[in-house]
Amino acid sequence: MDNATSAGVPRRPIEDAPVRVLSARPNLLTRLRNLATRRELLTSLITSDIRIKYKSSVLGIFWSMLAPAMTLGIYFLVFSVFLKNGIPNFFIYLFSGLVVWNLFQTAINTATGVIVDRASLVKKVSFPREILALANVGASVVYFFIQLGVLALVLLIVGHAPAWNYMWILPISFAALYFFTASVAMVTSALNVYLRDIKHLMEVMLMLWFYLTPIVYSYENTISLKLHRHGIALLYFLNPVTLIVLTFQRVFYVATHVVSTVAPHPTLQILPTWSVSHFFFLNVALLGVMVVLFLVSLTIFGRLEGNFESEL
C-alpha cells in the first residue's frame, strides 16, 4: 500500500488519466533530409496518383491534353468570336498562361484533401506526411510538361516562333512556380485535417484567383493603366503567379505590342516591355522568396501534423 492509499486518498484509476499526445518535431534540416531519403516513395506516389486518376479510362493520360485543349477552345470562342478582344493569335497568349495555371490549380485542388483521403495510410505507416501533398504537386508537374509539349506542337503547326533569347529564364520561373505550389499545397492539406471546409474554400478561392491573374485578359491593356493611376500597381504582383504567367507569355507569345483585329485597329500593348535582364532578376528574386516560403510552409506543416492521427 502506497502513501496515497494509506493517507486515505483513493488512487485515481489509470484509465481515467488524461491522455496527452506528444509529437516529436524534427527540425527543418531533419525534415529536408527525410524528404531526400524518401525520394523513391515520392516517385512511387506520383506514379500511383497518375495511374489511379486514369484507371479504366480508354484515353488514359491523353485526357491531360484533351481537357486543357477543350478549355482553350471555349475561351477562344468567347474572346475571339463573341467578345472580341482584338488580340491576334489570342489562343497562343491564352494557352501560354493556362499551362501555368493548370499546374497550380490541379495541384492545390488535389493536394488539399489528400491527407484526409489517405487517412488509413497516415495512421498505419510512418513516413513524412508532407510527401502526400508533394506527390500531388509532382503529378501535376507531369501533366504540365505534357501540356507544354502540346503548346510546342501548336506553335510548330501555326509557324509561331517563341522568343528564344528569353527561353533560358523559363526554368527559373518554373522553379518558382513549383516551390509556391508546393508551399500552398502543404499548408492547405494540413489545415484541411482540422477544418474540412478548407477544401471547399480553396475551390472558391481558386476561381477568384484565376481572374486575378492575367490569363484571359491582357495585363498591360486592361489592368496596368488603372492600377498605375491609383498608385497600386505593385499590389497586383503580390500574386506570385502573375509574374510567372507574364514570363511564359513573353516567351511563347513574344509580342509586347500588336495591332488590334477590331476596327479602328489601334496598337495595343499587351505585355510588359521589360528586357531579358529585367525578367531574369524579377524571376530570381521571386524564386528566392518562394524557397523561403517553402521552408516556412514545411515548418508549419511539421507543427500541425502532430495530432493528425487523432483528428483522422
pLDDT tens figures, 148-181: 988 898 899 889 999 999 999 999 999 999 999 9
pLDDT of 7 > 60? The answer is no
pLDDT of 2 > 60? The answer is no
pLDDT of 186 > 90? The answer is yes
Give the residue extent of every domain in the chain: 28-301
pLDDT of 103 > 70? The answer is yes
Q: Report the pLDDT averaged over residues 261-281.
A: 89
Tell me the C-alpha to C-alpha distance, in Å, between residue 253 and each of 15, 89, 161.
68, 8, 8
pLDDT tens figures, 53-86: 777 666 666 777 777 778 777 877 877 777 777 8
pLDDT tens figures, 208-243: 999 889 998 888 777 776 666 655 667 788 899 999
pTM for the whole structure = 0.86
First to last CA, the chain: 41
Higher pLDDT pick, 33 / 54: 33
pLDDT of 141 > 60? The answer is yes
Asked whether the beta carbons of 255 and 162 are under 8 A apart, the reply is: no
Tell me the C-alpha to C-alpha distance, in Å, between residue 86 and each of 217, 263, 286.
11, 9, 31
Evaluate the CA torsion angle 186, 135, 289, 253 in order and state its sign: negative
DSSP secondary structure, 141-193, as one string: HHHHHHHHHHHHHHHHHHT----GGGGGGHHHHHHHHHHHHHHHHHHHHHHHH
pLDDT of 25 > 70? The answer is no
- Which helix or strand (DSSP H or E) is residue 242 part of? helix 240-252
Cα 285–chain centre separation:
18
Asked whether the beta carbons of 193 and 304 are under 8 A apart, the reply is: yes
pLDDT of 263 > 90? The answer is no
Give the residue among 300, 29, 45 at the shortest CA–CA distance from 187.
Answer: 300
Phi, psi of 10 (to 5 degrees): -65, 140
Asked whether the beta carbons of 183 and 297 are under 8 A apart, the reply is: yes
Give the residue among 177, 170, 202 at the shortest CA–CA distance from 189.
Answer: 202
Q: What pLDDT shows up at residue 260?
A: 82
CA distance 7 to 297: 53
CA distance 219 to 241: 13
Cell of 20: 496527452
Q: Report the pLDDT averaged over residues 188-201.
A: 92
pLDDT of 43 > 70? The answer is yes
Judged on CB neighbours under 10 Å (0-12, 13-18, 19+), 301 is: buried
Asked whether the beta carbons of 305 and 21 are under 8 A apart, the reply is: no
Q: What pLDDT shows up at residue 59?
A: 65
- 84-98, 164-178, 189-203: least confident range: 84-98
pLDDT of 29 > 90? The answer is no
Q: What pLDDT shows up at residue 220?
A: 79
- 79-83, 120-124, 198-202: least confident range: 79-83
pLDDT of 254 > 70? The answer is yes
Asked whether the beta carbons of 193 and 116 are under 8 A apart, the reply is: yes
